[in-house]
Structure formats: C-alpha cells, structure tokens
Amino acid sequence: GESVGLHLPTLSVQEGDNSIINCAYSNSASDYFIWYKQESGKGPQFIIDIRSNMDKRQGQRVTVLLNKTVKHLSLQIAATQPGDSAVYFCAENPKTSYDKVIFGPGTSLSVIP
Amino acid sequence: KAGVTQTPRYLIKTRGQQVTLSCSPISGHRSVSWYQQTPGQGLQFLFEYFSETQRNKGNFPGRFSGRQFSNSRSEMNVSTLELGDSALYLCASSLEGWETQYFGPGTRLLVL
C-alpha cells in the first residue's frame, strides 16, 4: 500500500554540524510534501513544504530536497543546534485535493553539545 | 492568531468506558483532522472533517467517531475503550484540507 518511510530511525549529530534526514515515499502521484518537527510533549510543528514541481526549497537553516526519480525526500538542517533535537516526520499528500496526509514513522534527531 | 487547542490534555479511563476529546482549530480553518500517535504505529490518520461533514476516514473501527460543529470545532469519541487505545490523540487544522496542517498539543489518553 501507500507509505512514506524513513531510512534512519535515529540520528546523532554534533552541535554546529549539518544534519540530513531522509525519507522515501512510494506514491508517485503525491505532489505535496511536508516536514514536521515534534518535540517531546508537543504536537508536530510545520517546518517546510515542497511541491512536486520543485526540486529544492530553502527556509531558515533548513532545506528540503525532492528527487522524484527515486521518490526520495530529504531535510537538511544547517548548523544544528540543541534546540533542533526532536522527532522529524515527513508527510505526503497524494494529490492536491482532499486525500488524507500520510506520515512517515519519524526520525529522532539528537544534537550532542 | 491563536493556535489549535485541545482539551483535555491528559485523560485516564478504564476499559469499557467512553471518552470525548475536543479540538478548536485556528480561526478561519475549516478542515480538522484527527490522528492517533503511538510509539509502535506512529501517526495514524483517523478522520477529517470539513464544513461539518466527514470527508476522509482512516482504517479504524467504528468505535472511533467524530463530528464537527458549525464553528469548525470538532470532537472525537471513542466508545468501549480498549487498552490499545492508549495513545496521544492529535488534532490538526488547515484552511481547506490539503494545505499545511497545524497541530494542537494533543490529548494523552491512558486506558487502564
């Protein structure tokens, strides 16, 4: 069935280094992707999104890359800070209509001071 | 603008009881979605409401139900609670449903 999966369930990085969190999706019809950050005890928080007509989108210290050929999504965090420690979810909307969003299992990012 | 709010934040129930959770979306948002989050299953979609109508439904038993009011506030109900229903229940709102969803803090339900 349709699914969004993550390659790495846990990731530890040194403070100041760059982090890369990966995500694979299986539905080639998906055209909208979102990254969420979930800190302990809180609901997921929107980080950045990208549409399928784009390959790259940048935000503040974050960049999302989309490779439609291999159905792969990644989130890059520059100069990772302790406050970036959280679980990161990728999510896909199968199409720009009212289909339900599908979330990946999440990657736990730990930043080592 | 106030974010998504959920009440109560924590709840303890026993097997067989029922529970009602409440969600108030961001002002102006008409779509409300509910998710169940557990360590083993991750985030699973329950259902989505738009303009008081259930528009999408996930693969959960009929014990899980919901509704949306004219002011877009939503409630979900779980009847005949089971131990496996212990989870964090998240509500998310968006303008029309397919755009970015904004999540509330969740209601943590513990079934004993």
What is the 3-class SS of B39-104, one letter each residue? CCCEEEEEEEEECCEEEEECCCCCCEEEEECCCCCEEEEECCCCHHHCEEEEEEEECCCCCCCEEC
More confident of the two residues A101 and A109: A109
Query: Cβ B104–A43 below 8 Å, yes or no?
Result: yes
Percent of chain B with pLDDT over 90: 79
B64 forms beta bridges with B78
How far does the CA of residue A78 sit from the closest CA of chain B (Å)?
A: 23
Q: How would you class A65 by CB atoms within 10 Å of its CB: exposed for 0-12, middle for 13-18, buried for 19 or more?
A: middle
**Which of the pair, B99 or A109, is modelled with greater confidence?**
A109
Could you tell me what percent of chain B has a pLDDT over 70?
A: 98
DSSP code of residue B18 = -
- The whole-angstrom distance between A79's CA and the closest CA on chain B is 26
Residue A26 is predicted with a pLDDT of: 76
Smallest Cα distance from B16 to chain A, Å: 27
Nearest-CA residue of chain B relative to A95? B98
Given pLDDT bands bounded at 50, 70 and 90, which one contains residue A3?
Answer: very low
pLDDT of residue A99: 59
Question: Is pLDDT at B25 greater than 60 in this prediction?
Answer: yes
Q: What's residue A98's pLDDT? A: 53
What was the pLDDT predicted at B36? 95
Give the nearest chain A residue to B90 (CA atoms): A43
Mean pLDDT lowest for which of A72-86, B19-33, B71-85, B93-107?
B93-107
Which residue in chain B is spatially nearest to A105 when comparing CA positions? B42
pLDDT at A83 over 70: yes
Chain-chain contact of B42 with A105 (C-beta, under 8 angstroms): yes
Among B60, B73, B65, CA closest to B31: B73
Chain A contact set for B97 (CB, 8 A): 98
Distance from CA of A72 to the nearest CA of B (A): 20
Give the model's pLDDT for residue A95.
61
B55 touches chain A (CB under 8 A): yes
Report the Cα A64 to chain-centroid distance in Å. 7
Q: Do B105 and A97 count as a contact with CB atoms less than 8 A apart?
A: no
Provide the residue type at A35 as one letter: W
Is the CB of residue B21 less than 8 Å away from at least one CB of chain A? no
B58 or B34, higher pLDDT = B34
